[in-house]
Amino acid sequence: MEVDTLVNPDFLLSDVVKKLSKSATLALNQKVAELKRKNIEIINLGIGEPNFYVKDHIKNAAKKAVEDNYSFYSPVAGFDELREAIVEKMKRDYNLDYKKEQIVVSNGAKHSIMNVILATVNPGDEVIIPVPYWVSYPEMIKIANGKPVFIKTSFENKFKFTAEQLLNAITPKTKLLIYSSPSNPTGSVFTKKELSEFVNVLKDFKNILIVSDEIYELLNFTDEHISIANFEEVFDQVVIINGISKTYSMPGYRIGFMAGPEWLANAVIKLQSHMTSGPSSISQMAAIEAFKSSRAEVTEYRNTIMRLRDIAYELLLKIPYIKTNLPMGAFYFFVDISNYIGTSYLNYKINSDSDLCLYLLETAKVATVPGIEFGMPNYIRISFATNENILIEGINRIKEQLTKLS
Query: Strand pairing of 256-259 and 103-106?
Result: antiparallel
Q: Are residues 41 and 61 in the same domain?
A: no
Query: Would you state the pLDDT for residue 25?
Result: 65
Over residues 372-386, the mean pLDDT reads 97
Instruction: Please indicate, yes or no, if residue 3 is contained in any of the structural domains.
Output: no
pLDDT at 223: 78
Average pLDDT in the 38-56 region? Answer: 89
Whether residue 170 is found in the same domain as residue 251: yes
Measured CA distances, 382 to 215, 334, 360 (Å): 18, 7, 12
Residue 22: pLDDT over 70: yes
Regarding whether 305 and 220 lie in a shared domain, the answer is: no
266 and 155 in a common domain: yes
- Residue 77 sits in the same domain as residue 205: yes
Does any domain span residue 2? no
The pLDDT, as a whole number, for residue 196 is 98
The alpha carbon of 160 is separated from its chain's Cα centroid by a whole number of angstroms, namely 16
* Rounded mean pLDDT, 20-26: 73
Angle at 364 between CA 51 and CA 399, to 5 degrees: 90
183 C-beta neighbours (distance < 10 Å), count? 28
Question: What is the bridge-based pairing of β-strands 344-345 and 147-152?
Answer: unpaired
Confidence band of 295 (pLDDT split at 50, 70, 90) = confident
Peptide bond preceding 182 in cis form (omega within 30 of 0): yes
> Are 242 and 215 contacting, i.e. CB atoms less than 8 angstroms apart?
yes
Of 293, 322, 354, which marks where a domain is finished? 293
Q: Are residues 245 and 162 in the same domain?
A: yes
164-207 pLDDT per residue, tens: 999 999 999 999 999 999 999 999 999 999 999 999 999 999 99
CA dihedral 44, 49, 55, 58 (to 10 degrees): -140
Secondary structure element (H or E) that encloses residue 44, with its range = strand 43-44
Same domain, yes or no, for 235 and 89?
A: yes
Q: SS3 breakdown of the chain: % helix, strand, coil, rounded to 5?
A: 45, 15, 40
CATH of the domain at 47: 3.90.1150.10
Is pTM beyond 0.85 here? Answer: yes
Task: Quote the number of domains for the chain.
Answer: 2
Name residue 220's beta-bridge partners: 329
Give the bridge partners for 256, in sequence order: 106, 243
Q: Are residues 195 and 308 in the same domain?
A: no
CB 78 within 8 A of CB 279: yes
**Same domain as 270, residue 300:** no
Neighbours of 60 (CB within 10 A): 12
| Statement: residue 136 has pLDDT above 70 | yes
| Domain shared by 21 and 91, yes or no | no
Residue 313 within a domain = yes
**Cα dihedral sign for 292, 102, 251, 25?**
negative
Q: Among 293, 316, 338, which residue terminates a domain? A: 293
Are residues 125 and 171 both part of a single domain?
yes
Q: Are 98 and 229 found together in one domain?
A: yes
Give the C-alpha separation, 281 to 292, whole Å: 17
Q: What is the CATH number of the domain that holds 123?
A: 3.40.640.10
Residues forming a β-bridge with 345: 348
Confirm whether 191 is domain-assigned. yes
d(CA 172, CA 175): 8
Instruction: State which residues form the domain around 164.
Output: 56-293
Rounded Cα gap, residues 271 and 383, in angstroms = 34
Cα(19)–Cα(28) distance, integer angstroms = 20
Which among 41, 90, 8 has a CA at the least distance from the CA of 260?
90
Q: Judge whether 231 and 192 are in contact, CB under 8 Å.
A: no
End residue of a domain, out of 252, 268, 293: 293
